[in-house]
Structure 1
């Protein structure tokens, strides 16, 4: 490893330590699934929170909490046992372009996934590849939309096979798969390995990665994600996505 590479690794490792800390949760949507202790409640609340995680972080947190209030703060029970009337009460919900109709389908689809596919973890783990979960995300989208649905709702789940960096699902997978040794991520999905994870690539992490010469590609798309994955896996092959804390922290908090 060239000296410059080792200096970069030391710098980023230091930033990971700084931001991979429970105080990070104070302003992060990840605080929402931390309200729960049961595995299925954590993963469902995490999935729904990640789905609406774009825009202002304060409004993401407020709307995710509002959404879970509509599910009686018992997301797994609601998913399994909701009635058509229960779904009707969700109609007024809105976060940017994600509305009550989208939410209604998401809950119907989640019920199908828990009843007929073994749950969220099972869908991702059945379709994993040893070095990447991007093909599993594409397959997940297929399963998720196997029931009758409005075309508009499909845009709320990204597909790496169609060139997307799938930032929100990669973030959700980080939450579920990375271990809980700092009390930030959950590590409750044991059938997947942190080494397979990809960095949630967005405008902040992308800009910082380019400044640090970890990324040349200008668009934040699936090709850029692959390029960034290769670099981060060289820095830490067992837990490459820990560097999300460094890239995000440098971009959002330090305006690097």
Structure 2
């Protein structure tokens, strides 16, 4: 399918109108962070929902909701103040190949990010390039995996410097950065908009 510039713009505008509307939220992973109002809750729930956003959307939503339930539907408070026994309650498969060990590591890594690097937005803002977020994604990934971890867990965050399109993390970044007043994306990261 080959498009002229005008045809491509028209095609893409149609897709935006179809998917970038509030009626689409309910059945999409972005519905998970839309349950929250606190910036950090939106960030953490959005990051986790985007991380497992592959496969059947109904199952993604069910799995992401289960993650929020494990965190008492207060992701930021849970990340910062969880106990060892809280983590021991997390068992089994969370979503497809994302298992309890991965989720537990993600909770620990997020605590590390928020307590030692001033949160997710701060990292992406600090390491972004003039025209690309690829360097920031690469640096975020290395900071995220600073703590001891299973090597298999690293597959859940792609690295654009290793040839990946990093679709899930880019989707998360779009949710946090894009402010188009349509009510879907949050646009809460003003330092990057």
TM-score normalised by structure 1 residue count? 0.72
**Aligned residue for 1:69?**
69
Distance in 2 between residues matched to 1:94 and 1:17, nearest whole Å: 32
Distance in 1 between residues matched to 2:143 and 2:177, nearest whole Å: 20
Q: Which runs of 5+ in 2 are unaligned?
A: none
Computed over aligned residues only, the root mean square deviation of the Cα atoms, in angstroms, reads: 1.3
**Aligned residue for 2:160?**
160
TM-score normalised by structure 2 residue count? 0.95
Distance in 2 between residues matched to 1:153 and 1:135, nearest whole Å: 21
**Aligned residue for 1:134?**
134
Distance in 1 between residues matched to 2:185 and 2:131, nearest whole Å: 20
Deviation at 1:180, TM superposition (A): 4.9
The CA deviation string for residues 162-213 of structure 1, in whole angstroms up to 9 with x for no partner, is: 11111100000000000150100000001113xxxxxxxxxxxxxxxxxxxx
The CA deviation string for residues 91-145 of structure 1, in whole angstroms up to 9 with x for no partner, is: 2342111100011110011001000000011111110011110111110010000
**Aligned residue for 1:226?**
none
Q: Which runs of 5+ in 1 are unaligned?
A: 194-256
Asked if the contact 2:121/2:189 (under 8 Å) is kept, the reply is: yes
SS in 2 for 1:94: strand
Deviation at 1:14, TM superposition (A): 3.1
- Asked if 1:49 is matched to 2:79, the reply is no
Asked if the contact 1:50/1:168 (under 8 Å) is kept, the reply is: yes
SS in 2 for 1:191: helix
